């Protein structure tokens, strides 16, 4: 018998653990590899991700699940083991990015809608057979004085909801990710503008999820934090934590299984500090954890540099970030531990 959605979601939100977003598309991982001068070959992608998934200290103790790109779900380690099996063997849940990317929204300059609904039921069935028990769909919301438009919010919320219930029908927990960009152009918005847009977007997303008959206990929300744009950084850690929790409490039903943030261009330490400060506030209706891509991987990627002899150093860097974020998921991170 298949597992209950609620039980998978609870495993993803296990205390002191969070998600590793390693689902960079072939184009996005190319940008990461370019930054360290590594060729974007299938074998290099395999070697890099195998290094992460074989970091036992991180995977067993601090990572509850890993989001994979389709290629990785079917890829094998150097010794022939499926990479998804490495993840399961460490006690984490394998998941899969199922959207086909954010595409220009016709008639709405500067905005996007995420595609990938056609044929999704059949793809989810195949992914389930390959071991995936949760999925991710990322909607991208532009922010400025005049954006987003009501139409872009609605189109993206509608697609997220249709995706979510298709996942649940196939026994897969949906991660619902409406990302308001921190690092998009122009990126000079204030934290209060981010709060306003975040509340409007989440309100629409949960209205659509309700209409679509989504089981809230069997889904995970992956939101941005309420934060100022990359070209307007000034809010303190406490202000980000307080404004993020306020926006979420106003818009996210308490029945939702959990919330796992994206890092969105924050530095490693900022992303950790913000999460810890929110959890330290206490009295939250849902578990709050991380689902970081860059903020979990940047140090490991740099330490590895594409060289087999640096695998140990890459794993050490990943284990450190995973441990720091595990502490943050319990509200127990501190600058002293960061340095230790």
Interface residues toward ligand 13P, by CB under 6 A: 21, 138, 177, 262-264, 292-295
**Of the two residues 159 and 283, which places its CB atom closer to ligand 13P in the complex?**
159
**Of the two residues 17 and 294, which places its CB atom closer to ligand 13P in the complex?**
294
- As measured in angstroms, the least distance from the Cβ of 107 to ligand 13P is 25
Give me the residues paired with residue 292 across strands.
20
Residue 289 and residue 326 in contact, taking contact as beta carbons nearer than 8 Å = no
Alpha-carbon gap, residue 183 to 231, rounded angstroms: 8
**Of the two residues 215 and 227, which places its CB atom closer to ligand 13P in the complex?**
227
Q: Report which of 194, 196, 156 is spatially closest to residue 176, judged by C-alpha positions.
A: 156
Element (H, E) at 114: strand 112-114
CA dihedral (37, 309, 300, 331) in degrees, to 10, reads: -170
Which of 11, 17, 136, 222 is an active site residue?
222
Which of 111, 177, 179, 208 is an active site residue?
177
Element (H, E) at 176: strand 173-180
**Of the two residues 21 and 216, which places its CB atom closer to ligand 13P in the complex?**
21
- As measured in angstroms, the least distance from the Cβ of 182 to ligand 13P is 9
- As measured in angstroms, the least distance from the Cβ of 137 to ligand 13P is 9
- Whether 177 is catalytic: yes
**Of the two residues 120 and 182, which places its CB atom closer to ligand 13P in the complex?**
182
Q: Which residue is nearest to ligand 13P (CB)?
A: 293
Residue 160 and residue 222 in contact, taking contact as beta carbons nearer than 8 Å = no
- As measured in angstroms, the least distance from the Cβ of 283 to ligand 13P is 26
**Of the two residues 263 and 276, which places its CB atom closer to ligand 13P in the complex?**
263
The tokens for 64 are 């509850």
How many other C-beta atoms can be found within 10 angstroms of the C-beta atom of residue 150? Answer: 9
- As measured in angstroms, the least distance from the Cβ of 125 to ligand 13P is 23
Sort 303 into a burial class: Cβ within 10 Å, 0-12 / 13-18 / 19+. Answer: buried
Length of the chain: 340
224 φ/ψ sector (left φ>0, alpha ψ -120 to 50, else beta) = beta
- As measured in angstroms, the least distance from the Cβ of 81 to ligand 13P is 25
Residues 6+ apart with CB under 8 A from 152: 105, 108, 111, 112, 113, 141, 142
Residues carrying an active site annotation: 177, 222
């Amino acid at each position: 018998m298949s597992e209950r959605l609620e039980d998978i979601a609870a495993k993803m939100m296990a205390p002191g653990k969070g998600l590793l977003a390693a689902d960079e598309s072939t184009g996005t991982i190319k940008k990461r590899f370019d930054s360290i001068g590594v060729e974007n070959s299938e074998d290099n992608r395999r070697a890099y991700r195998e290094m992460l998934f074989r970091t036992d200290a991180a995977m067993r103790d601090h990572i509850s699940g890993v989001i994979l790109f389709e290629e990785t779900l079917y890829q094998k380690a150097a010794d022939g083991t499926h990479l998804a099996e490495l993840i399961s063997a460490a006690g984490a849940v394998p998941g899969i990015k199922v959207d086909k990317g954010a595409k220009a929204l016709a008639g709405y300059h500067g905005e996007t809608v995420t595609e990938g609904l056609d044929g999704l039921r059949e793809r989810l069935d195949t992914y389930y057979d390959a071991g995936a028990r949760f999925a991710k769909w990322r909607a991208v919301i532009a922010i400025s004085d005049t954006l987003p438009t009501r139409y872009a919010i609605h189109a993206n919320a509608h697609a997220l909801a249709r995706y979510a219930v298709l996942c649940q029908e196939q026994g897969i927990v949906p991660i619902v990710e409406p990302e308001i960009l921190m690092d998009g152009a122009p990126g000079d918005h204030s934290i209060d503008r981010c709060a306003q847009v975040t509340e409007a977007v989440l309100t629409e997303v949960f209205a659509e999820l309700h209409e679509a008959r989504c089981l809230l206990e069997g889904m995970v929300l992956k939101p941005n934090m309420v934060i100022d744009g990359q070209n307007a950084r000034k809010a303190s850690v406490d202000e980000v934590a307080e404004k993020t929790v306020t926006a979420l409490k106003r818009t996210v039903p308490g029945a939702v299984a959990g919330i796992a943030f994206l890092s969105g261009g924050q530095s490693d330490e900022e992303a950790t500090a913000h999460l810890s400060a929110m959890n330290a506030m206490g009295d939250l209706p849902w578990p709050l954890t991380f689902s970081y891509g860059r903020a979990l991987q940047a140090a490991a990627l740099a330490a590895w540099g594409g060289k087999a002899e640096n695998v140990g150093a890459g794993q050490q860097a990943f284990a450190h970030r995973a441990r720091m974020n595990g502490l943050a998921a319990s509200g127990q991170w501190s600058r002293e531990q960061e340095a230790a």
